[in-house]
Amino acid sequence: MAEKRITIQATRFDPDKDEKPHLQSYDIPFADESMVVLDALNHIKSYVDGSLSYRWSCRMGICGSCGMMVNGTPKLTCSAFLRDYWPHKITVEPLNNFPVIRDLVIDMDDFMHKLKSVKPWIIRKQEIPLGAGVHRQLPAQVTEFRQFSECINCMLCYSACPVYGLNDKFLGPAAIALARRYNLDSRDQGLKERLPVIAEAEGVWECSFVGECSVVCPKGVDPAKAIQQTKLDTTLRFTLPYGNRD
Amino acid sequence: MRTPVQMSTPPAQRTYSWSMPSAWWTRKRHYLLYVVREFTALPMALWLLWLLYDIKRAGSGPAGFYPSRSVFFVIFSAVCLVFAMYHSYTFLKLAGVIIHVKVLDKPVPPRVIVFMMFGLLAVASIVIGAVLIGFAR
């Protein structure tokens, strides 16, 4: 019986030689139904073309490193099964909306700066001493922010967002979702430190609710929801007499 | 004594800047629906400007009030009504996502909030319609 094969078209870009990226085709064996796109790239790198560059790490949808455009849709390549595309060819490109460093590797500096700007960590006005014991939270308090804490910073939402594509000053979906995650945390007291970043024109107000960020999120986070809720919250804080609370 | 090693700054890396293609909104149905939703605001704004112009003319007395009855304007108004209803639908559907209400310490399900919003829209439409018909008589 003939060996099952599949064609992978991958973006190639060498900044020292190429003016712009181009696609290169690889015909590889599709030996196992459990193969994912990342396995195909690893096969190409190991047996066909060792110069192909891309990021990956955990292979289990946790680290968020292997996000790429698979047939035009942002996906974690470790979770995109070849069987869902075979016998058609698969086109693998670097994430949209980001500068390309080499082949499938994008420059993520802009996202990293934005992520840091929303201070995605617990901020306390006064730290509780370790001797005071654990900071208890009720299950209902955890439920408030749980969904937003699932974000793995894979940047698929930025890649799917046309607003970010048209204006890279936009703070973006994941950074706002993580800001909301900490603002909703009963242990956190950093809302007023985050507000100047998230409530400005290029924060939540730049979003015109396309909603594709929530569609492509591999972890079921709903960044569009976080952004719209933050719009409502910031409006209430501005308009209601008791709104300027901590 | 050894002198510290001078670290040279690596040359800036050349990257390929990705730019949004002008036909980006044709790539996915979701994008297309979004652009249609945003575009529908334009004819609605034109219709409202027309309405303001009619109101201004009516300010000079009954003689100045002669609303357009042309076929074009009636069709345009019907199209704008469809656009307005589409906008209302997308906006009220959003209410379930953004509004968090708790009753007896339990969150109200989004679908109940959306249902209530559509109910309020229906009630408001009936009341406004009744008032307008009442004035017309």
> Do B94 and A165 make contact, defined as CB atoms within 8 angstroms?
no
Domain A109-239 listed as CATH 1.10.3720.10: no
Residue B95 lies in a domain: yes
Among B30, B97, B105, the strongest candidate for a mutation testing the A interface, having the largest count of A CBs within 10 A, is B97
3-state helix, strand, coil in chain A (%, to 5): 40, 15, 50
Rounded Cα distance between A26 and A18, Å, is: 19
Within chain A, which residue ranges are assigned CATH 3.10.20.30?
5-106
- Structurally, chain B folds into a number of domains equal to 1
ipTM of the complex: 0.83
Residue B16 lies in a domain: no
Q: Which residues of B touch A21 (CB under 8 A)?
A: 16
Look at residue B94 in the predicted model and tell me its pLDDT: 78
Residues 6+ apart with CB under 8 A from A215: A160, B30
Q: What are phi and psi of B92, to 5 degrees?
A: -70, -30
Enclosing domain of residue B108: 26-136
Residues in chain A: 246
In this predicted structure, the answer to whether residue A198 has a pLDDT above a threshold of 70 is yes
Residue B89 lies in a domain: yes
Q: Which residues of B touch A231 (CB under 8 A)?
A: 98
Mean pLDDT in residue range A132-147: 90
Look at residue B9 in the predicted model and tell me its pLDDT: 65
The chain A residue lying nearest B14, using CA atoms, is A15
Mean pLDDT in residue range B41-47: 93
DSSP assignment of A162-229: HHHHH-TTS--HHHHHHHHHHHT-TT---HHHHHHHHTSTTTGGG-----HHHHH-TT---HHHHHHH
Task: Classify domain A5-106 by CATH architecture.
Answer: Roll (3.10)
Q: Give the CATH number of the domain where residue B80 resides.
A: 1.20.1300.10
Residues 39 through 78 of chain B touching chain A, CB cutoff 8 Å: none
Tokens of B131: 């008032």
Look at residue A178 in the predicted model and tell me its pLDDT: 98
In this predicted structure, the answer to whether residue A117 has a pLDDT above a threshold of 60 is yes
Residue B63 lies in a domain: yes
Does residue B43 contact residue B81 with C-beta atoms inside 8 Å? no
Q: Higher model confidence: residue B77 or residue B94? A: B77
Tokens of A9: 């078209």
Look at residue B55 in the predicted model and tell me its pLDDT: 83
pLDDT tens, residue by residue, A160-186: 999 999 999 999 999 999 999 999 999
Residue B69 lies in a domain: yes
